[in-house]
Structure 1
Amino acid sequence: AALIAKINGNPVKSIYVYSRPEWTALVTGAKSEVTKVAELKGKRVAVTRGTDPHIFLVRSLAEAGLTEKDVKLVLLQHADGRLALERGDVEAWAGLDPMMAAAEVEAGARLFHRKAADNTWGVLNVREEFAEKNPALVRKVLKAYEEARAIALANPAEVRKALVEATKLSDAVIERQLTRTELTHSTIGPAQADTILAAGLALQQAGVLPANADVKASVDALIDKRFAATN
């Protein structure tokens, strides 16, 4: 989303990594016979356009030698995508946690295609003007994030309990989501830039970003490491 905003002229910077989640995968129903991406050809796939699951779907199709034109996209919001899958209206869904975890636990959905490396990072962004005028406040916010990250790493059971209370989801769903959420990173740098670039090129291929957009230059302008010392 930050890259799309940047390319569309919004003055934002990406300054901090708060998580390394595997928060999206390709999902099918418990009784589906689909086991690999190539088998989606000609089938209906629910996805929310311009989101991380959409990026993941585009990249997954490309690796299987397919494009969006080879499947029948059903554009829905994430929660509606899950419902469409469970009703049998679509063969697959580009899922997003925690709804994806809930579909697994509550409805027996299967994550038939996973690739953690193709998931994007959890990144904190800031408006350029705000960062220029309030650097001390930005550092204060990042310090709070760092303190929270340290507490979360030291107290996983408390994190799970807090998320259950905040989301009203079951302990089993939250536990499933947390098993694929890594909190050991914080400093933004080349690894995040590479992932954002790959995501941007996928969105450009899908027509979400203009064909003439310089994605690489936009990524370079988006990443701001000046607050890295805070981490």
Structure 2
Amino acid sequence: MGSVRGFAFFARARRAHVLRNIMTTAAAALALCYFGSTQAAPLTELKLDYAYYSPESLVIKRNGWLEQEFAADHTQVKWVLSLGSNRALEYLNSRAIDIGSTAGLAAVLGKANGNPIRAVYVFSRPEWTALVVRKDSPIKSLADLKGKKIAATKGTDPFLFTLRALHTVGLSRDDVEIVNLQHPDGRTALANSQVDAWAGLDPHMAAAQIDDGARLLYRNVDFNTWGLLNAREDFIREHPEQLARVLKVYEKARVWIAAHPDDTAKIVSEESKVSLAVAKLQLSRNDFSHPQPGAQQIAALKAAAPILVDEQLVKSGTDLNQVIDALIDSKIAQPVIASNGAK
């Protein structure tokens, strides 16, 4: 009986091995069909951002996984800190980075205004922004913000979230004074009573809640657009194999985060210089289970896009549906995610 059970176990293991080989071969075939060639141009330096709002980037950077992935190629990995989507988009547009992390609607705004990018991966489905007031603030509703000062980083999800929130109560940008401050400076301005409200971004928003006792005045998870990993179109064209390998490492980090929540919180805490409690609150507001960009992101962004027209943030006549369709590229990540067994 022991030998029979041993043979059955070996047979199952053999079938699993064959299945994995089939999946890997299929993924490679999909990549070949999409990219057209497996021959990649040499890459001496890989430039990408890390951001406190992108836990995967912090995990990858801390563990040196990209450096390990490209060590045999002698490719130098250069990390650049993005403090917000606006910075990541600036770096992409100026070629300071090849790959950058942004919110979905911010990426739409950037592409609509000429930034040559495509969104190739979803690093999280977050609730990373809300409108924040001090714990002793007399402001109780969105309507109370009329005539008030709101700190927000222009060109980012929190800024666009603010405009959408104001529209729900019949207010526009002209009904408030928006003070353009980078995210951490907005938190400081709120704590020092220099502004009445702040369009927060995690982990700074979580820190304001836990450390300052700040209150979330308005939350709406549907107004938080997806966390997207974007690549410049010339990088996609010239280095398809290397981009696929970057996404493979992001997939490794995504799976690792799910399996190691405490270790992830520790890394986020140390990299972002926030308390462990703050890091855990931030992570609790992120869903990492949907890495594949596609129809879901397109639908969400098309629902959000009218704010860009209403607030005259894009050129008159811009076809934002066309911009969004061109932005979301589902094909690049598909073989990488499929070989990892995710959807």
Using the size of structure 1 for normalisation, the TM-score is: 0.94
8 Å contact 1:98–1:177 — kept in the other structure?
yes
d(CA) in 2 for partners of 1:206, 1:95 = 20
3-state DSSP of counterpart to 1:46: strand
Matched, 1:226 2:324: no
Q: Write the letter of the residue equivalent to 1:177.
A: Q
Structure 2: give runs of 5+ residues left out of the alignment.
Answer: 1-105, 338-343
**What are the equivalent positions in structure 2 for 1:154-193 lying under 5 Å apart?**
154-193=259-298
Structure 1: give runs of 5+ residues left out of the alignment.
Answer: none
d(CA) in 1 for partners of 2:114, 2:137 = 43
Stretch of structure 1 that moved more, 130-139 or 150-159: 130-139
1:127, distance to aligned residue in structure 2 (A):
1.5
Q: Write the letter of the residue equivalent to 1:230.
A: V
**What are the equivalent positions in structure 2 for 1:205-220 lying under 5 Å apart?**
205-220=310-325
The one of 123, 133, 137 equivalent to 2:238 is 133
1:76, distance to aligned residue in structure 2 (A):
1.9
d(CA) in 1 for partners of 2:293, 2:262 = 27
Aligned position for 1:79 = 184
**What are the equivalent positions in structure 2 for 1:77-156 lying under 5 Å apart?**
77-156=182-261
Aligned position for 2:107 = 2
8 Å contact 1:85–1:93 — kept in the other structure?
yes
**Pairwise CA RMSD:** 1.5
Aligned position for 1:202 = 307
Using the size of structure 2 for normalisation, the TM-score is: 0.64
d(CA) in 2 for partners of 1:61, 1:172 = 31
Matched, 1:13 2:118: yes
1:105, distance to aligned residue in structure 2 (A):
1.0
**Structure 1 residues 99-135: Cα deviation after superposition (integer angstroms, max 9, x where no partner):** 1111111111001111111101111111222212222
d(CA) in 1 for partners of 2:271, 2:150 = 30
1:229, distance to aligned residue in structure 2 (A):
2.5
8 Å contact 1:50–1:208 — kept in the other structure?
no
Aligned position for 1:23 = 128
8 Å contact 1:37–1:113 — kept in the other structure?
yes
In structure 2, relative to structure 1, the CA distance for the partners of 1:198 and 1:49 (3 Å cut) is farther
Q: Write the letter of the residue equivalent to 2:335.
A: A
For these two proteins, the number of residue pairs brought into alignment is 231
Instruction: Look at both structures and tell me which one has the larger radius of gyration over its CA atoms.
Output: 2
3-state DSSP of counterpart to 1:151: helix
4+ residue segments displaced more than 6 Å: none
